[in-house]
Structure 1
Amino acid sequence: MFDRDKERIRRAQRAGQVDTLIGEKVVIRGDIHFSGGLYLAGRVHGSISAQDPGAILTLAESGLVEGEVRAPVVVINGELRGDVHASERVELASNARVLGNIHYKVVEMAAGAAISGRLLHAETQQLHAVPEAEHAPDRPLRLNTAAA
């Protein structure tokens, strides 16, 4: 069952499937949660997040997002004002303009793309994370602070 789902996701990503189209004259004020392929040529004032492990967000040249984006694959050719969190891949086309940090696993950037923020590799962030305590002690620790 899971193998079929993974293969379906791979085929959709290769095909660039678009399930939802937001046209140039559309302005959305609020958050968007999507599955599949979302092609955005309009404006969104709010966050965008994917609920599907095979989801693809494509921001067209005329598109504008003012808010955080979270999706496995993010293709940008417009303007994005906010952080990008891509669990798989970020593609920055020649007209991409990002004002925010990009958290990525793989990044592809064309000549002409502009970023005003930081590129943060996902695996590097995990290496520098502070590990949490695995088990809390059953009783408080007593330290001997008396001078020896």
Structure 2
Amino acid sequence: MLKKKSSWHDGQAVDTLIGAQVVLHGDLQFSGGLVVEGRIHGRVFAAPGQPATLTLGEAGLIEGVVDVPVVIVNGRIEGDVRATERVELAPRARVSGNIHYKVVEMRAGAVLVGQLMHLAEGEPAQAAAPVPAQLDALPEAANA
């Protein structure tokens, strides 16, 4: 029987890696650790009742709604984010959409074009509709 092993990325367990040369069209459901260095055009969400962490690298881009317990962003997201546990916006993070969060950490240099909305205890874990991309209008986003 094969045993599933996780590797590690910046202290986080990685079960799945989407490399920089990968472009995925469609929705992606996962559990465990997912690192995205490529592009996803579609919804990214955690399997119900499973722990999940999404790490979006500097070169990564997600165009769609993200609905994952733990979200770590250092790339671009064009759509709403719902992090039922925690969201971290690293210095090169660019988010065009609303962020629904329980705990948020935003580093200097991160850009948010949207609203931060705190999730109350017991609030259902379903994401809002995606918003149109507005990041290209920001001068610093063109250099990202």
Show structure 1 runs of 4+ deviating over 2 A: none
Distance of 2:122 and 2:61 partners within structure 1 = 28
- Structure 1 alignment gaps of length 5 or more: 1-11, 127-148
Distance of 1:125 and 1:61 partners within structure 2 = 33
Tell me the TM-score normalised to structure 1 length: 0.73
Distance of 2:19 and 2:12 partners within structure 1 = 17
Q: Name the count of aligned residue pairs.
A: 114
Q: 2:35 aligns with which of 39, 47, 72?
A: 39
1:18-57: CA deviations, max 9, x gaps?
0000000000000000010000000000000011542000
Q: What is aligned with 2:58? A: 61
- Structure 2 alignment gaps of length 5 or more: 1-7, 124-144
Q: Which has the higher contact order (CA 8 A, sep 6+)?
A: 2
Q: Secondary structure at the match of 1:17?
A: strand
1:81-139: CA deviations, max 9, x gaps?
0000000000000000000000000000100000000000001995xxxxxxxxxxxxx
* 2:6 aligned with 1:27: no
Q: What is aligned with 2:94? A: 97
Considering fraction of residues, name the structure with more helix: 1
Tell me the TM-score normalised to structure 2 length: 0.75
How is 1:99-118 mapped onto 2 (pairs within 5 angstroms)? 99-118=96-115
Q: Secondary structure at the match of 2:92?
A: coil
Which of the pair has more CA radius of gyration? 1
* 2:118 aligned with 1:121: yes
